[in-house]
Amino acid sequence: MNTIGIIGAMEEEVAILKEKMSEVTVLEKAGMEFFKGILGGQQVVIVRSGIGKVNAGICTQILADVFQVNAVINTGIAGSLKAEINIGDIVLSTDTMQHDVDAREFGYEIGQVPRMDTRTFPADDRLRETALQVCRKVNPEIQVFEGRVASGDQFVADKETKEKIIANTQAYCTEMEGAAIGQAAYLNGIPYLVIRAISDKADDSAHMDYPAFEKEAIRHTVNLVENMMKAL
Q: How far is CA 81 from the centre of its chain?
A: 15
d(CA 219, CA 197): 9
H-state helical runs in 35-177: 53-65, 125-138, 159-169
CB 149 within 8 A of CB 91: yes
| First-last CA distance in the chain | 8
CB 182 within 8 A of CB 136: no
Residue 163 falls in the annotated catalytic set? no
Residue 12 falls in the annotated catalytic set? no
Alpha-carbon distance values, 130 to 133, 135, 140 (Å): 5, 8, 15
H-state helical runs in the chain: 11-19, 53-65, 125-138, 159-169, 178-188, 206-231
Active site residue: 13, 124, 177, 209, which one?
13
DSSP state at residue 66: T
Bridge pairing between strands 71-80 and 4-8: parallel
Active site residue: 95, 124, 200, 226, which one?
200
**Active-site residue numbers?**
13, 200
